[in-house]
Amino acid sequence: MGTRTGPSARTASGRLPRRLSPLALILALAASAPAARAQAPAPVVYRVSFPEPQHRYAQVEAVFAGVGAAPLEIRMSRASPGRYALHEFARHVFDVHAVDGRGRALAIERPNPHQWNVSGHDGMVRFGYRVYGDTVDGTFLAVDTTHAHMNMPATLVWARGMESRPVRIAFERPAGTAWRIATQLRPTGDPLTFTAANLQYLMDSPTEFSDFTLRTLTVWLPEGRAVPAARREATIRLALHHGGSEREADALIADIARVAREAGAVFGEFPDYDVGHFTFVADYLPYASGDGMEHRNSAVLTSSAALGDGVQRASLLGTIAHEFFHGWNTERIRPRSLEPFDFEDANMSGELWLAEGVTSYYESLLMHRAGLASLEDTAAEFGRTVDAVIRSPGRRFRSAVDMSRLAPFVDAARWVDRTNWENLYISYYTWGAALGLALDLSLRDRSGGRITLDDFMRLMWRRYGRPAPLVEGLVAVPYTLRGARDCLADVSGDPAFADAFFDRFVEGRDVADYEGLLGRAGLVLRRRSPGRTWLGDVAFAAGRRGVRLSGPAPLGSPIHRTGLDQDDEIVGLDGVVMRSAGDVDGVLRRRKPGDTIPVVFERRGGRVSGSLALEEDPALEVVPAERAGGALTGAQRAFRDAWLGEKGVGSLFP
Ligand SMILES: [Zn+2]
């Protein structure tokens, strides 16, 4: 932080202040964009080529024209839209040079690790560099002989003060390839040249350059709703870079259509995609990392799993459902805390439980409604979610809003020091999904099924998501936590209910009555391993003298109460010498919950004796009542069908 210039200095250099109100931001961008057509600013022009794709780098030239007298401050981003941790993309940039409009070499200063200051130019700066990248995911750059998979913040520099300028970007094929482009960037007459309205839109536009398989399909929602025909259809493109077959591509786009139809049915209409369609860029390659990343009109899907793998395919589809739902929730129903996206620092957001977590809840719902997940699998997923929130120690310290604000530390962030997240953190995906479940069931329960979470999402959509953007790449009306609370008050017709829900479960640290709520749908929340003897959810590894705790001891567990923690080694348990994790299990199998047994352990070179009060494993699961030896009542069946049943009825294809 110390090396960064202060906000006033940045404003003076022409960069938009980061925390303008949305209206002020729009006015600032609008003033410097089309309004001043008479002397429209010169676009920023990029040329991206791959002279040696086998060596995993891109060659980039960025041309900035109409540059003022002050040094041009050229930056690599530190964050990528949709990813909440800092990633310091400048570390992959090398072979940097700059010339002016007459080709004269320019001096480059390095005021901080992310920036190149260029001065002495004639009003034009041509900035050239190479950038290494070998990570296939939703954040980084990957170049090899099969593709260039470009996340723009990891690939392109930009210049302070030129954030609102239009952009033109041309890609050059590596010699001997017939690669094509898949992107949400606007096409031009040249199939390898694209435009973006401004930096926000450019950086939000991941681009796949390869010999991908393309499928295009239009999905329709049923008629009979008060929605214009254009809003009832969505054109979806799938650019698939994988080692699988054409038949797998056909099957995937068909399943995408099912999921998309169910997602559309939640809102009653599709977003008005800026470029007329939504693009999935899917790289299912053995050398890809598992990821899904949402953008305004596209999503990146990466995985080392193949479509031919039946088990993994369901999780690939779950990611597709999640990212497509983001087209409404997060990309358009967007928290003010993420708007505009900050390329110089982390955006901290207290609303990720709603933006990400509720999206994860809908991921489960859409998969079931689309017929792609069984009731048992869906119930099991709800069980894992509810179990994590009810039992995780992190709830003692932080609310779902607080957990959301930790995203810059946990969202694909990497550290070299140890952390205690096991005790201090609950994923906002998990907690938010649990809140979505609780809110949906509560609304249905208290209204006799008349009002649901879908109604809440629709109201959020009408207020925040649907208004057309005044500046491309930015939402017109981002929401706040207060706005979401007000939406719940309005949709439920009961401000006291909304206040209680937000105060207790969202901003507070209580958990809803999941047993009662799930029971309305004939789902049973119960102990997963009744009678099983337990000392805590601890990971053990072989130690030097005994069995080592390889992670923090879970707060509140028997082993934590006894005083053991990470790296302590159990050498004796219940009078038995401990050499492996299996030895611990052996003792637990012989003992009952409620028993107290002696333990001897080594801690930082000293030997400690204590006693361990064993308990019953508190882990929870959710199962359908009819699988738990019970019977489903008519009311439970009706509740369940209204909740989990298909909604997107009607023809798939025009
Ligand atoms: Zn997400």
How far apart are the CA of 510 and the centre of ligand 1, in A?
24
Residue 13 has pLDDT above 80, yes or no: no
CA dist 78 and 86 (Å) reads 5
Q: What's the N-to-C CA distance of the chain in angstroms?
A: 55
Q: What is the dihedral of CA 100, 128, 295, 463, to 10 degrees?
A: -20
Q: In this predicted model, what pLDDT tens digit does every residue of 73-125 receive, in sequence order?
A: 999 999 999 999 999 999 999 999 999 999 999 999 999 999 999 999 999 99
- Counting beta carbons within 10 angstroms of the beta carbon of residue 609, is it exposed (0 to 12), middle (13 to 18) or buried (19 or more)? exposed
Give the tens place of pLDDT for each residue, 246-273.
Answer: 999 999 999 999 999 999 999 999 999 9
Given a contact cutoff of 8 angstroms between Cβ atoms, the answer to whether 431 and 407 are in contact is: no
**C-alpha of residue 323 to centroid of ligand 1, in Å:** 6
Q: What are phi and psi of 525, to 5 degrees?
A: -95, 120
Q: Is the per-residue pLDDT at 43 higher than 70?
A: yes
For ligand 1, the distance from its centroid to the CA atom of residue 454, given in whole angstroms, is 18
Average pLDDT value for residue range 632-645: 97
408-465 pLDDT, tens digit per residue, is 999 877 788 999 999 999 999 999 999 999 999 999 999 999 999 999 999 999 999 9
Q: What percent of the chain has pLDDT over 70?
A: 93
- Rounded to whole angstroms, the Cα distance separating 302 from 293 reads 9
Eight-class DSSP state of 338: G
User: What is the model's pTM?
Assistant: 0.93
Which stretches within 13-135 are classed as H helix? Answer: 22-32
DSSP code of residue 161: T
Q: What's the pLDDT tens digit per position in 541-574? A: 999 999 999 999 999 999 999 999 999 999 999 9
Q: Considering only CA atoms, which of 340, 344, 349, 348 is closest in space to residue 6?
A: 344
CA–centroid distance, residue 566 to ligand 1 (Å): 32
- Residue 352 Cα to ligand 1 midpoint, Å, equals 9
Determine the Cα–Cα distance for residues 221 and 404; give it in Å rounded to an integer.
Answer: 33
User: Where in 230-290 does DSSP place strands (E)?
Assistant: 233-242, 278-284
Q: Do residues 293 and 263 touch, judged by C-beta distance below 8 A?
A: no
Q: In the predicted model, is pLDDT for residue 25 greater than 90?
A: no
Contacts of 131 (CB under 8 A, 6+ apart): 57, 58, 60, 89, 92, 93, 94, 141, 154, 155
**From ligand 1's centre to the CA of 550, what distance in Å?**
30
Q: How far is the CA of 138 from the centre of ligand 1 (A)?
A: 11
Distance 365 CA to ligand 1 centre (A): 15
CA of 1 to the centre of ligand 1 (A): 28
Residue pair 133/143 in contact (Cβ under 8 Å)? The answer is yes
Residue 652 has pLDDT above 90, yes or no: no
Q: Tell me what the mean pLDDT of segment 375-400 comes to.
A: 98
CA of 76 to the centre of ligand 1 (A): 24
The pLDDT, as a whole number, for residue 514 is: 98
pLDDT at 224: 62
